[in-house]
Structure 1
Amino acid sequence: MIDSALLDRLVTEAEADEVAQLVVGAVVESEGKVLLLKRPADDFMGGIFELPSGKVELGEDLKTALVREVEEETGLQVAEATAYLGSFDYLSGSGKKSRQFNFVVTVTVTAPEPVVLQEHDEFQWAPIEEELPVTDAVKQVFEAYRELQAN
């Protein structure tokens, strides 16, 4: 379980860094594979694979946003956020300074199905030990995940 004091500190640090948009991302793993979602071609950063992720809404805390976004984007129910994997900053499609906080989550369904897409073109369960078709920032998240699994 993620400590709520850590979540509060992350938000406070983002505010101090003048981050305009908070985003949460989830590493969902099943049977040695991680869930990747492909952005629609006509969307910001179209065609790339990414983690299930999305914006934190006004008045929402990071954990609530994480649970909501995973469900909205995949249809999967988050059972628990088990670890924090770090963050990365980027400029959104509208030019806002954004920070994505990344977490390991467990879902209530242990099999890799059913994933129900709402906002993406496709999904894949990719072997965590392989080179994954994601941005360098997400590759760093997966490296942190691999290190966590090794300990």
Structure 2
Amino acid sequence: MSTPELTDIARQDITDGIAQQVVGAVIEAAGTILLLKRPADDFRGGTWELPSGKVEATDTDLFAALHREVTEETGLTISEVTGYLGAFDYTSGSGKHTRQHTWAVVVTNPDEVRLSEHDDSAWVATTRDHPVSDEVQRLIDAHLATVTS
């Protein structure tokens, strides 16, 4: 799995007029992927998603944001970033042109999920019973294609 340079990603986002960057993680453990359920009263409420969140001005780069967001949302610690899975664009709840960049990661303590911003979590082998957006499904499919090939 190849990983583009973070500076190339940032440069492309500026060129494309991206107002907000978001980072996301496909966390796999024992053949399952971690999904989080958004609070019902939140933007895209009730949907299942990957651990993800906004890049903050205090983040030194996208990887710093990725590590921070995974820890904030799940209590888990990333031990390795194994590859870049891609990105998708959307309009945020505040109307910003947003791009989510997602990486496959390994965590050191997958059995210690502690939620801070979501209603539920699930380690799943398939998203069949945990509907995700088409964009998130494409990222999961991209990840699964790399681990089974």
Query: Shared fold (TM-score greater than 0.5)?
Result: yes
Is 1:120 the equivalent of 2:118? yes
> Which runs of 5 or more residues in structure 2 are unaligned?
none
SS in structure 1 opposite 2:5?
helix
Structure 1 residue ranges without an equivalent (≥5): none
Match of 1:144 in 2: 142
Mapping for residues 95-110 of structure 1, pairs under 5 Å: 95-109=95-109
- Per-residue CA deviation, residues 82-135 of structure 1 (Å, 9 max, x unaligned), is 1000000000000000000000011112xx42110000000000104x535100
Q: TM-score, normalised by structure 2?
A: 0.93
Counting only pairs closer than 5 Å after superposition, residues 123-134 of structure 1 correspond to structure 2 as: 123-128=121-126, 131=128, 132-134=130-132
- What is the identity, as a one-letter code, of the residue corresponding to 2:84? Y
Q: Tell me, yes or no, if the aligned pair for 1:67 and 1:78 is still in contact at 8 Å.
A: yes
Q: Give the 5 Å matches for 1:1-151.
A: 6-60=5-59, 61-109=61-109, 112-128=110-126, 131=128, 132-151=130-149
Q: Secondary structure at the match of 2:76?
A: coil
CA drift at 1:8: 1.1
Divergent runs of 4+, >2 A: none
TM-score normalised per structure 1: 0.92
**Alpha carbons 1:21, 1:55 under 8 Å: kept:** yes
Alpha-carbon RMSD across the aligned residues, in angstroms, is 1.6
Identity within the alignment, %: 50
Aligned residues: 147
Give a deviation string over 1:2-29, Cα, whole Å, max 9, x none.
Answer: 86x6111111101100000000000001
Amino acid in the other structure paired with 1:40: P
Mapped partners of 1:32, 1:140: distance in 2: 18
